[in-house]
């Protein structure tokens, strides 16, 4: 699967359709959606309007809600998701071989990531930017300034160098263009910069707690 994708949580309608088109035009080929985001139709519209990009070229991830688990309910939820996305296949429904979890310097999930690595499960990091909150962090900004990069790029590069795929969400063209594989792959954080970011671990989550959802 691609290492860098577009997150879509909380984005809908024309704004999201435009964001998906910016991402596709910038070369991004992974779109992360979910039934619960209520934006699968918008992703489908963007794909249809992108014209020359074939469905097979884009890696689409969706998710079935925790209340739709179990063979019958999951099968029916999946076929509804496919209908909304106007496709006859998904590249990933979140389940083993891929584990999508919250990962950023304040919440690194090292034991879980080590377990995934040992068991050949690819970690996809969400909330890489701390849902936007980490973009004003002094350590992150200092490293960004020294490299001539944005705070978002430093956080995404930290995710990639930590072995994760990243799926930052934005509806802004210039932010999406700054968060493509191309924009993130031609430079790296030094060992001392990685060490400074690793030292930020604080057990601080920004998203929901999957262990208490039901």
Q: How far is CA 174 from the centre of its chain?
A: 17
Query: Is the CB of 17 or the CB of 100 nearer to ligand NAP?
Result: 100
- Stretch 144-183 residues interacting with ligand NAP (CB under 6 A): 150, 152, 167-172, 175, 178
- Stretch 10-69 residues interacting with ligand NAP (CB under 6 A): 32, 63
* Contact assessment for residue 90 and residue 81, using Cβ atoms and an 8 Å cutoff: yes
The one segment of 47-55, 76-84, 123-131, 137-145 that binds ligand NAP by CB under 6 A: 123-131
The one segment of 65-73, 84-92, 110-118, 126-134 that binds ligand NAP by CB under 6 A: 126-134
Query: Rounded to the nearest whole angstrom, what is the least distance from the CB of residue 90 to ligand NAP in the complex?
Result: 14
Query: Is the CB of 81 or the CB of 100 nearer to ligand NAP?
Result: 100
Query: Is the CB of 131 or the CB of 191 nearer to ligand NAP?
Result: 131
Query: Rounded to the nearest whole angstrom, what is the least distance from the CB of residue 196 to ligand NAP in the complex?
Result: 20
CA distances from 5 to 45, 104, 115, 125, 160 (A): 18, 16, 23, 10, 12
State the Cα–Cα distance between residues 108 and 158, nearest whole angstrom. Answer: 11
Q: Which of 132, 145, 146, 195 binds ligand NAP (CB under 6 A)?
A: 132
From the list 108, 179, 160, 147, the residue with the least C-alpha distance to 139 is 147
Query: Closest-CB residue for ligand NAP?
Result: 7
For ligand NAP (CB under 6 A), the number of binding residues is 25
Query: Applying CB under 6 A, which residues contact ligand NAP?
Result: 7-9, 32, 63, 100, 126-132, 135, 150, 152, 167-172, 175, 178, 207
């Amino acid at each position: 699967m691609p290492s860098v994708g577009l997150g879509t949580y909380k984005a809908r309608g024309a704004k999201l359709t435009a964001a998906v088109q910016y991402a596709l035009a910038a070369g991004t080929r992974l779109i992360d959606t979910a039934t619960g985001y209520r934006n699968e139709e918008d992703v489908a519209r963007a794909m249809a309007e992108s014209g020359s990009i074939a469905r097979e070229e884009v890696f689409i991830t969706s998710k079935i809600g925790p209340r739709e688990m179990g063979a019958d309910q999951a099968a029916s939820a999946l076929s509804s998701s496919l209908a909304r996305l106007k496709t006859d296949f998904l590249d990933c429904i979140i389940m083993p071989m891929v584990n999508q979890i919250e990962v950023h310097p304040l919440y690194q999930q090292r034991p879980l990531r080590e377990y995934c690595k040992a068991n050949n499960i690819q970690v996809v990091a969400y909330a890489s930017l701390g849902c936007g909150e980490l973009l004003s962090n002094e350590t992150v900004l200092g490293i960004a300034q020294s490299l001539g990069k944005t705070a978002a790029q430093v956080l995404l590069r930290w995710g990639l160098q930590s072995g994760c795929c990243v799926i930052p969400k934005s509806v802004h063209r210039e932010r999406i263009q700054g968060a493509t594989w191309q924009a993130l792959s031609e430079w790296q954080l030094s060992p001392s910069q990685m060490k400074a970011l690793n030292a930020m671990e604080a057990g601080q989550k920004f998203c929901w707690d999957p262990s208490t959802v039901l």
